[in-house]
Amino acid sequence: MSSSRVVASPPKAYIDTMVFIYHFKKHGLTSKADNFFKDIESGKYAGVTTSFTIAEYLGVMRKALAEARNSPSTSADVARLRKEIEEFISDMGIVYFDADTLVSPGYGKLFSPTENIVENAKHFKNPRTSKWYLVNGADALHVTLAVRTGADVYATFDDDFRGVNNWIKPLMLFEAY
């Protein structure tokens, strides 16, 4: 009698915009983002992301460039930023989903689930700062897209996502790394 060994798949981790930003733009959390990406490389997590994440990434990075230079970013800057993140995603083996595909008729409504998340996510009060956190519309859209990619966890540095565990488990990278 032969025995077959079942190998469990690593949990799928939807990667939040700021994780990419902290990887590319030096910050106090850069080493934590980099360690998370090393765990993706080693197979601890299977990374997933969407075109909506890329759009947010480009917006944040264009603003950062404009502030650093005190002048608007150029179309060449945008092309370079897009190429940089798309190559990184490909090289890391992160599965990329076109967000438009995830809103196709087979997935049902997009904004009703997003509204449900905004209306029902739990508040989180940070005991260190006494500041309240709660997902906003764009955050809730990411949660909806993450669920549609089949992600098991939502990898983030943002306390806003602590209250979404009814939909997806938040993986708080600043605590995990």
Q: Hey, which residues does 100 pair with through a beta bridge?
A: none
Specify if 1 maps to a domain.
no
Model confidence pLDDT, tens digit, residues 141-157: 999 999 999 999 999 99
Specify if 4 maps to a domain.
no
> Could you tell me which residues come within 8 angstroms of residue 75 by beta carbon, excluding any fewer than 6 positions away?
none
Specify if 90 maps to a domain.
yes
pTM of this prediction?
Answer: 0.88
- CATH number of the domain bearing residue 33: 3.40.50.1010
Mean pLDDT of 122-133: 91
Q: Quick check: 33 pLDDT over 90?
A: yes
Identify the helix (H) or strand (E) that includes residue 145: helix 137-149
Residue 20's domain comprises: 12-176
* Cβ contact 51:96 at 8 Å: yes
Strands 132-133 and 124-125: antiparallel
Q: What is the domain count for the chain? A: 1
Specify if 96 maps to a domain.
yes
Looking up tokens 């090289």 gives 91
* Cβ contact 156:19 at 8 Å: yes
Specify if 5 maps to a domain.
no
Specify if 7 maps to a domain.
no
Task: Identify the pLDDT of residue 107.
Answer: 79
Query: CA-CA-CA-CA torsion for 69, 19, 163, 63, nearest 10 degrees?
Result: 10
Give dist(CA 29, CA 177) in Å, integer. 9
Give dist(CA 57, CA 51) in Å, integer. 10
Looking up tokens 């080493």 gives 31
Task: Identify the pLDDT of residue 58.
Answer: 96
Specify if 136 maps to a domain.
yes
Specify if 6 maps to a domain.
no
